[in-house]
């Protein structure tokens, strides 16, 4: 038996590594060829496969005797701004294809990567209590503020409908803003910001921010990609998940200045120049976050607690 991880990006690769370390065979599927590096990881194989090609996904599942899927393949917000129709297709139809293969092949469990952005639209109407796990499921009347969030909400609902109608054992994980490491890995907004600040800090030059998506007013919650991988594995194995939608976050949140200060713990002389005005919330969303996400159910039902603080992440990834 093997686990199929869709998406060989930051979180997919980290998840594959964790699964392999726990003694499981893993096949990682991505639409782009992946260079596994000089030392091919044991127990992990790579397949060129587009999640939009359901038959190819199905062939992979059969060929590798897959019994569980961690579905991370997606277009993130930056890529969607370049090609919205492709983002809608990959994030919604791609997810439906994964769920359909899981239904037909009676897979043991599917874990679907979502995002706390599904709740961002309600930041102006929500009070200062932590955002509960099922919060976004109760706000369908509020329009998502980005195509990315719309695709993630659609994928969440498809997942839960596949569970309710067909009994597919699927769990949805809503990651906070994910911080990843390494050149080429920073496809996400928070990853790009961290890469920009660290590069400037290392080079001893000023960090110039001229992308309005990389700054935010108020506070935002961040989570380490290693914690996302841990949560994926916990979700794949959780014995009795009840709610099926979980926040993957630390319970903590940070302003832009606090984020820069965390980088200054390593590079005290770092100077940051903003070439764009500070207005609105994170990643171009209009409203400020009123509270972090509730993380209790991920602990209770999945046994997951984030291990890395923002300072830990920045320190580790700076290397
Ligand atoms: N990074 C974040 O800030 C963040 C936050 C919340 C949720 N998420 C979600 O987590 C998941 C993983 O994010 P990540 O940071 O690893 O992103 P990433 O961009 O590093 O990885 C995504 C991978 O999906 C692949 N992909 C794209 N289209 C595909 C297709 N049609 N078929 C197969 N593969 C395809 C890409 O080539 C890429 O390798 C995504 O679902 C994302 O929406 C990410």
Residue 277: inside a domain = no
Ligand 1 within 6 A of 9 CB?
Answer: yes
Whether residue 266 has its Cβ less than 6 Å from ligand 1? no
CATH number for the domain spanning 160: value is 3.40.50.720
Q: What was the pLDDT predicted at 180?
A: 85
CB 186 within 8 A of CB 192: yes
| 143 Cα distance to chain centroid | 21
Tell me what the pLDDT averaged over the chain comes to.
Answer: 92
Our count of domains for the chain comes to 1
**Is the CB of residue 10 below 6 angstroms from any atom belonging to ligand 1?**
yes
Reported as a pLDDT band with limits 50, 70 and 90, residue 135 is low
pLDDT in tens, 64-108: 999 999 999 999 998 999 999 999 999 999 999 999 999 999 999
In a domain, 264, yes or no: no
pLDDT confidence of 140, banded at 50, 70, 90?
low
Residue 283 lies in a domain: no
Q: Is 52 in the pocket of ligand 1 (CB under 6 A)?
A: yes
Is 200 among the domain residues?
no
CA distance 238 to 254: 30
The predicted pLDDT at position 278 comes to: 85
What pLDDT is stored for residue 138 in this prediction?
64
Q: What is the pLDDT of residues 22-44, one digit of tens each?
A: 999 999 999 999 877 767 788 99
Alpha helices, DSSP H, located in 64-211 = 77-82, 84-88, 94-104, 147-166, 189-203
Put residue 23 in one of left, alpha, beta given phi > 0 → left and psi -120 to 50 → alpha: left
Provide the H-helix boundaries in the chain.
Answer: 10-21, 54-63, 77-82, 84-88, 94-104, 147-166, 189-203, 225-237, 256-264, 296-297, 310-318
Asked whether residue 69 is domain-assigned, the answer is yes
Q: Please give the residue that has the higher pLDDT: either 38 or 52.
A: 52
In the block, which residue shows the tokens 């369908």?
A: 140
Residue whose CA lies nearest to ligand 1 atom number 6 = 115
Residue 136 has pLDDT above 80, yes or no: no
Question: Residue 140: which domain range?
Answer: 2-176+225-250+294-307
Kindly report the protein residue whose alpha carbon is nearest to atom 39 of ligand 1: 9
Residue of 161, 59, 154 lying closest to 105 (CA atoms): 59
Which of the listed residues 6, 8, 9 should we mutate to test ligand 1's pocket, taking the one with most ligand atoms within 8 A of CB? 9
Q: Is 31 part of any domain?
A: yes
- Tokens coding 151: 């695709």
Average pLDDT over residues 254-271: 96
pLDDT at 119 over 90: no
pLDDT digits (tens, 9 = 90+) for 149-187: 999 999 999 999 999 999 999 999 999 999 987 645 567
Question: Which residue stretches of 105-188 are H helix?
Answer: 147-166
Judged against a pLDDT cut of 90, whether residue 292 lies above it is answered with yes
Q: Domain for residue 314, yes or no?
A: no
Distance in angstroms (rounded) separating the CA atoms of residues 36 and 41: 7
18 domain-assigned = yes
Residues 6+ apart with CB under 8 A from 8: 16, 28, 29, 30, 32, 34, 46
pLDDT given for residue 41 in this prediction: 80
Instruction: Find the range with the poorest average confidence among 31-40, 87-96, 205-214, 218-227.
Output: 31-40
Q: How far is the CA of 97 from the centre of ligand 1 (A)?
A: 16
């Amino acid at each position: 038996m093997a686990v199929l991880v869709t998406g060989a990006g930051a979180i997919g690769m980290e998840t594959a590594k964790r699964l392999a370390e726990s003694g499981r065979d893993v096949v990682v599927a991505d639409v782009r060829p992946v260079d596994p590096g000089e030392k091919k990881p044991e127990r992990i194989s790579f397949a060129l496969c587009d999640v939009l090609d359901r038959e190819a996904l199905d062939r992979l599942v059969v060929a590798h005797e897959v019994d569980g899927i961690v579905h991370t393949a997606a277009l993130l917000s930056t890529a969607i701004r370049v090609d919205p129709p492709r983002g809608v297709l990959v994030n919604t139809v791609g997810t439906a294809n994964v769920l359909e293969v899981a239904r037909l092949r009676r897979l043991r469990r599917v874990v679907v990567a979502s995002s706390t952005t599904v709740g961002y639209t309600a930041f102006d109407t929500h009070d200062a209590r932590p955002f509960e796990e099922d919060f976004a499921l109760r706000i369908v009347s509020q329009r998502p503020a980005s195509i990315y969030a719309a695709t993630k909400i659609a994928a969440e609902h498809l997942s839960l409908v596949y569970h309710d109608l067909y009994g597919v054992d699927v769990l949805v994980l809503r990651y906070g803003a994910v911080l990843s490491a390494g050149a080429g890995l920073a496809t996400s907004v928070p990853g790009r910001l961290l890469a920009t600040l660290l590069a400037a800090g290392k080079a001893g030059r000023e960090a110039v921010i001229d992308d309005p998506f990389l700054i935010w007013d108020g506070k935002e919650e961040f989570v380490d990609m290693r914690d996302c991988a841990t949560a994926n594995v916990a979700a794949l194995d959780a014995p009795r998940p009840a709610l099926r939608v979980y926040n993957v976050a630390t319970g903590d949140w940070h302003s832009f200045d606090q984020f820069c200060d965390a980088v200054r713990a390593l590079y005290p002389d770092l100077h940051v120049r903003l070439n764009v005005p500070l207005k609105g919330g994170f990643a171009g969303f209009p409203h400020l976050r009123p509270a972090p996400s509730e993380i209790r159910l991920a602990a209770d039902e999945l046994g997951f607690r984030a291990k890395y603080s923002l300072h830990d992440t920045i320190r580790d990834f700076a290397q």
